Structure 1
């Protein structure tokens, strides 16, 4: 959850193929748009276990690569450092230049029907590597926070909040893999926000697409996957980790898990905090609106917007979450207080969920419960988080402990990014997680 994180604006005139610069950046400088990636295919040896894994997932269709487009190259560590600093991130873990691609791949929608999605795939550059030998890389899967516009996704932005963590992991020597999620980036339809099931399938299938594409660049992805995610993406990271541990892919295995500032107990902790004023007021309004609209699309929790939204918002709010409206438009199009947005029934639906709403929240709230990660886990959070209250992290830690897993909580302190501790937690956690994942890979 991070509505205010991304630089929201409509696609500018220079937009080509979905890539746009961050607000405040000079659009002409350092931004080289290219056509589809022209890479030399490197065949995976027939006896390599990767070949069997690729064949397995391609038969099923999910994760099959549809297209790959080279977005940009940051040829030196200095260029990467400048890129990260422009997004407000630290550059202390940078060791390599990187090359970034947008992958479009086959996956399934929340109902299991075929669809497509996109994501960002970033690889480290290594001038010492012999071109004829494939280089094995660990993958780091990063799940991003909430956005309202289709462009608020890793493969659609550069030098930005949603893409910086992926670049940071790649520049430290890993393969950075980041799904845009369904309905974001180049994916069709609306985004099913906080739907952990489709976040999980989109994340897993993005890993498969990355594995299929990697040999064309002279790389193969190793089995162990390090998984992280911020805010909305923290729940997505837990969903992906659970599926990896359950063996839902025959190649990839969970190697480490580091979610950041998640709303893990969305119905039991986050919604009550939203309603009683513990969240920053405008954030509470936006998340209340997004919750009702997104959950209604999948679970039919109301018949008419006027049941849950007061006039005039009952006729306008749903359209704000169609993927074509920017964060600025979303902020302007919603009131400053919940009482101006919600009807009595709308508030009751969030305060005392019943029927389809309650059923949906039971699934959303289960990301930390009833399973025991066998890989190392750390939970990252910021003191005084104004958007994802820290009690969410406490509940997750308690649930994992009940399953016999000790998951240390890393309190990042009162960190700040653009006036937000929530956003600051993503910035502060990125370097820490890069270092920790590096330690795990060396074990």
Structure 2
């Protein structure tokens, strides 16, 4: 569920390659003439492809070393592009979304594909297609020789509207449509995809990765073959692990207040959790919480204007409901809690750190048990006594080597 790096709330692992010089970026596809974000069109149809970054092999390797990400087979430089494409909103209405396509600057013309889904971000400008600091994972996997599709999700990056935070269904549709758009965009860049798909993601994106893999295996991404799945620190078990951890001390207060506020505000647009914010939030927070999650506020500004603890954030009545969910809250938790309710036919590794106080490791363990009950053999790789962002740093090199070494051969 990860609040993105670059703000003073908590330090994250992102590589800040923005200080490095861009090299050789040229326009590719300026856009579809007359394209209208609300016009009905084919899901996954490309509206535009815009170059946003280019880095040499040495620059990528140096930046990854500076972040202590570990031994990674950096073979190529990277070229990154913002892709705008057609998709649907949570109600199935036509809209557009953006995402980052990254390709190696050398190597073969036919590329395998990695889907990388990002963690929690409240400010739309923090999304991968816009913010250099959010591109670490994309650069890493592209530097090993694959194309990387990193969706911004709905309402982030340059997509319209507000982000439906933790709405798994719309995150999956936006991610699937980004995969389709990536195939077209790669062709515009003179590259083609082999059809092999490797799925990963961190934090919120870890949960999305599991749900996306399920959709791909079920046939939702025609032409792509799921090969392996490797999410990191995902909140897979909202009802049984993540939500109880907000009140029993396993989730730290700053993160708990941020995640819970964001979840309630976003989910209330999809499920009837409250009619008036004052039914859920104490004053003065009730009067400002919805405005804070408008996609324009920075994380530190949001945290500064909310309560220091979950207990101080919520009314007595809703705090009791949080401990024993009912109504719209329970509906929201259950609607977004089935990412592991399937039987993968490919290798799956769940990465987690045992000192994570954002997304406790119990999420991964519960996910593994759920998958095992359906007949799947899944490994939980405990990456050591590290916190939330530390779990990603510790996992990334291993995931890159696993994907590069033929995870599904």
| Deviation of 1:28 (Å) | 6.3
User: Which has the larger displacement, 398-407 or 284-293?
Assistant: 284-293
| 1:36-68 Cα deviation digits (max 9, x unpaired) | 4369xxxxxxxxxxxxxxxxxxx9600000111
- 2:346–2:408 Cα contact (<8 Å) kept: no
> 1:240 and 2:212 equivalent?
yes
> 1:149 and 2:123 equivalent?
yes
Q: 2:223 aligns with which of 251, 261, 285?
A: 251
| 1:349-398 Cα deviation digits (max 9, x unpaired) | 322222232222112111112x1000111110012111101111110000
> 1:262 and 2:234 equivalent?
yes
User: Which has the larger displacement, 353-362 or 260-269?
Assistant: 353-362
Secondary structure of 1:63 counterpart: coil
TM-score, scaled to structure 1: 0.85
| Deviation of 1:338 (Å) | 1.7
- 1:8–1:152 Cα contact (<8 Å) kept: no
Q: 2:316 aligns with which of 323, 344, 349?
A: 344
Change (3 A) 1:211 1:389: same
Unaligned runs of 5+ in 2: 31-39
| Deviation of 1:226 (Å) | 0.3
Q: 2:389 aligns with which of 423, 429, 432?
A: 423
1:156-305 paired onto structure 2 within 5 Å: 156-158=130-132, 160=133, 162-305=134-277
- 1:261–1:425 Cα contact (<8 Å) kept: yes
| Deviation of 1:35 (Å) | 7.2
1:93-172 paired onto structure 2 within 5 Å: 93-126=73-106, 135-158=109-132, 160=133, 162-172=134-144
> 1:2 and 2:2 equivalent?
yes
What's the C-alpha RMSD, in Å, of the aligned pairs?
2.2
- 1:89–1:164 Cα contact (<8 Å) kept: no
Unaligned runs of 5+ in 1: 10-21, 40-58, 130-134, 416-420
In 1, distance between residues paired with 2:18 and 2:377? 46
In 2, distance between residues paired with 1:37 and 1:288? 41
Q: 1:30 aligns with which of 16, 21, 30?
A: 21
In 1, distance between residues paired with 2:218 and 2:327? 29
In 2, distance between residues paired with 1:338 and 1:442? 43
TM-score, scaled to structure 2: 0.91
Match of 1:64 in 2: 45
| Deviation of 1:344 (Å) | 1.6
Q: 2:384 aligns with which of 395, 406, 413?
A: 413
In 1, distance between residues paired with 2:270 and 2:177? 21
Change (3 A) 1:174 1:27: closer
| Deviation of 1:89 (Å) | 3.6
Change (3 A) 1:433 1:344: same
